[in-house]
Amino acid sequence: MYKIPTQNYPIIRQWIAPGSRVLDLGCGDGTLLSSLIREKNVEGIGVEISQDMIVRCIQKGVSVYQADIDKDLSEWPDRSFDYVILNATLQAITKPYNAIEEMLRVGRHAIISVSNFGYLRNRIRILTQGRVSAHTRSSAHWYDSPVIRFVSIKEFETSLEEMGVEVMDAQFFLACNRVIGSRWPLYNLLAREGIFKIRRGSSE
Amino acid sequence: MNQIVKTQILHTDAPFRLESGDVLEHLDIAYETYGELNERRDNAILIEHALSGDAHAAFYHERDRKPGWWDSMIGPGKGFDTERFFIICTNVLGGCSGTTGPASIDPATGKPYALSFPPITIRDMAETQRVLLAQLGIERLKCIAGGSMGGMQTMQLFCDYPLQADSFICIASTMKHSAQQIAFNEVGRRAVMADPRWNGGNYYGEVSPEAGLSVARMIGHITYLSEKMMQEKFGRAKKDKDAKVIFRPSFEVEHYLDYQGISFVRRFDANSYLYITNAIDNFDLMGSLRSKDRARGEGRQRGTPLDALKSKRGLVVSFTSDWLYPPSQAKEIVRLFTGLNVRVSYAEIETDHGHDAFLTDFEYQTAIIQSFLDAPS
């Protein structure tokens, strides 16, 4: 069964200034937001599409809006948040460019995590078995998987560049939950996940 | 074992001032309560009813086979749990189920008010509930909740008295009517007034304008259902295939609307219908929050700055197939309250049941309302 990854929560908490306004897209059961509210005293709002998750957020006292990230972000006014988070959700979005543009319109900063399809284990699995692993797609079958976007960290970085986005910080998770802050050689091969703090490029 | 309840009436002789400036010298408020008020008097929830509702929200009246209009949501272990909360529901001002309205006797003349009844507003309705709460000794509500027109009263009361309630739940509602919504209501009112029996509102003691009022109700019912639901429920099925008489109801959907119209006129006053729909059309939450009348407040809480709403909680619920009060209007409510720094959550329930879903789709509504009322504040 799919588990909500929490190993990058400490990084997100570190990146977010106390007392700021935070929008968490695809907030799941509200675990991240409620910890940010508790520890960073943020004003947080989550966006979720699943009814069950909405109920669980409300139970925790987390404000949540039932909405579709692909459609409903345009309803938020410009710059209404300090941070817009997209954690473990990018791979499930139909129009990622649009979502990232909207995040940077609605928020002053965006925080996006990317599961790395270029990670060594994924490559070996494809090479030796000719199959995408269940772990990679968060589901045993390709046809019911929430993961519809397979992207490597390098490709994602290229996209950010194309969009004229400034990367303020980036962290990469290696095996055994080791985190590196710099782009080691072969990081696109060795990191299973990357997390980016971005904002609109200063040229704009 | 069905729980029995009785509608009670609070009689007051203190003059009651309306937004219009008119004064009612005497006011009756019909209400029901469910569950027990705790010792700290802090477990009360006020339920607001919709256009055609009444104070009988839950449980059974003696010898009745049908329970109150929201019995599936109110009771032991239900969305509004009567084992934990003290639930209050009042009939609205201008209504015809015990609270003073156009069919009530005007003490000045000894006859029914009819159209001499002053115009009323959603805020006036909310104010009558304050009279009852004072009488019951309840200073602070855990929550105010209502659907449709009940949602309007909920929002008005929540904003007018920011210190009074901890939270609100607004279901299938809007902060102001659109042109289309006003148009539907106007057609309903015209149907009533076009009935010769309406007679300028003076029909008490005679046959009431049943034909007009039932047409108004039929129009209303079309807007309460979704196209898909109507199609699935009735399609083009005919009840009486060999009907010899032309222009008698033959399609199932005609019979359904006919039945809804007839059962409505038995329990509802035509003038009440005019006054209440007029109050709904003129409701404009944002306008009312800016108005001088809000600040006036007559020494009460009403003039309290809206800053006091900060960090209170709200829940807004809409239904995907509700085209009377569509999700887009619910989102406007969410934006307004988010702007007032209320911690709002928004749920959009997937259903084919249209506007009436707030009276029929209980499963998810119950889960979400329970978790909202349970949540740490």
- B148 carries an active-site annotation: yes
pLDDT of residue B295: 66
Q: Above 90 in pLDDT, residue A2?
A: no
Strands B111-112, B105-106: pairing kind:
antiparallel
Structure tokens at B167: 């939270």
Give chain B's contact residues with A (Cβ, < 8 Å).
313, 315, 331, 334-335, 338, 343-350, 364, 367-368, 371-372, 374-377
Q: How far is B164 from chain A (nearest CA, A)?
A: 20
Among A163-177, B66-80, B196-210, B240-254, whose mean pLDDT is lowest? B240-254
ipTM: 0.90
Catalytic residue among B52, B72, B97, B148: B148
User: Please, which residues have CB within 8 angstroms of residue B149's CB and are 6 or more apart in sequence?
Assistant: B48, B49, B50, B51, B92, B122, B173, B276, B280
Q: Above 60 in pLDDT, residue B163?
A: yes
Helix (H) or strand (E) holding B343: strand B343-349
Interval B278-294: pLDDT, tens: 999 999 999 998 887 77
Q: What does B11-79 look like in DSSP terms, one character per residue? A: EE-S-EE-TTS-EES-EEEEEEEES---TTS--EEEEE--TT--S--SSB-TT-SS--TTTTTEETTSS
In a domain, A3, yes or no: no
Task: Check if A67 contacts B (Cβ < 8 Å).
Answer: yes
Among A107-111, B229-233, B252-256, B303-307, whose mean pLDDT is lowest? B303-307
Per cent of chain B over pLDDT 70 is: 98
Cβ atoms of B193 and B215 closer than 8 Å: no
Give the domain extent around A45.
9-198
Q: Above 60 in pLDDT, residue A1?
A: no
- B355 carries an active-site annotation: yes
Average pLDDT, chain B: 94
- B272 carries an active-site annotation: no
pLDDT of residue A204: 47
Evaluate whether the domain defined by B8-176+283-374 bears CATH number 3.40.50.1820.
yes
In a domain, A4, yes or no: no
Q: Above 70 in pLDDT, residue A203?
A: no
Confidence of residue B78 (pLDDT cuts 50, 70, 90): very high
Higher pLDDT, A6 or B4: B4
Name the amino acid, one letter, at B69: W
Q: Mutation target for A interface from B313, B346, B372: give the one with most A CBs within 10 A.
A: B346
Q: How far is A75 from chain B (nearest CA, A)?
A: 9
Q: Mutation target for B interface from A23, A41, A49, A55: give the one with most B CBs within 10 A.
A: A55
Per-domain residue ranges of chain B: 8-176+283-374, 181-276
* Nearest CB to B343 within list A54, A63, A67: A63
Residue for token pair 């504040």: B377
Higher pLDDT, B303 or B205: B205
Q: Above 50 in pLDDT, residue B10?
A: yes
Residues of B in contact with A66 (CB under 8 A): 346-348
* Helix orientation angle between B252-267 and B210-224, rounded to the nearest 10 degrees: 120
Residue A159 and residue A67: Cα distance in Å, rounded? 25
Mean pLDDT of B215-220: 98
Name the amino acid, one letter, at A132: V
The domain spanning residue A172 has which CATH number? 3.40.50.150
Confidence of residue A185 (pLDDT cuts 50, 70, 90): confident
Q: Above 80 in pLDDT, residue B1?
A: no
Cβ atoms of B280 and B177 closer than 8 Å: yes
Split into its structural domains, chain A has a count of: 1
Cβ atoms of B145 and B70 closer than 8 Å: no
Q: Above 50 in pLDDT, residue B3?
A: yes
Mean pLDDT of B207-233: 97
Question: What is the CATH architecture of B181-276?
Answer: Orthogonal Bundle (1.10)
Residues of B in contact with A53 (CB under 8 A): none
Give me the phi and psi of B188, to 5 degrees please.
Answer: -60, -45
* Helix orientation angle between A153-162 and A96-106, rounded to the nearest 10 degrees: 60
Structure tokens at B313: 């909680």
pLDDT of residue B297: 61
Task: Check if A49 contacts B (Cβ < 8 Å).
Answer: no
In a domain, A48, yes or no: yes
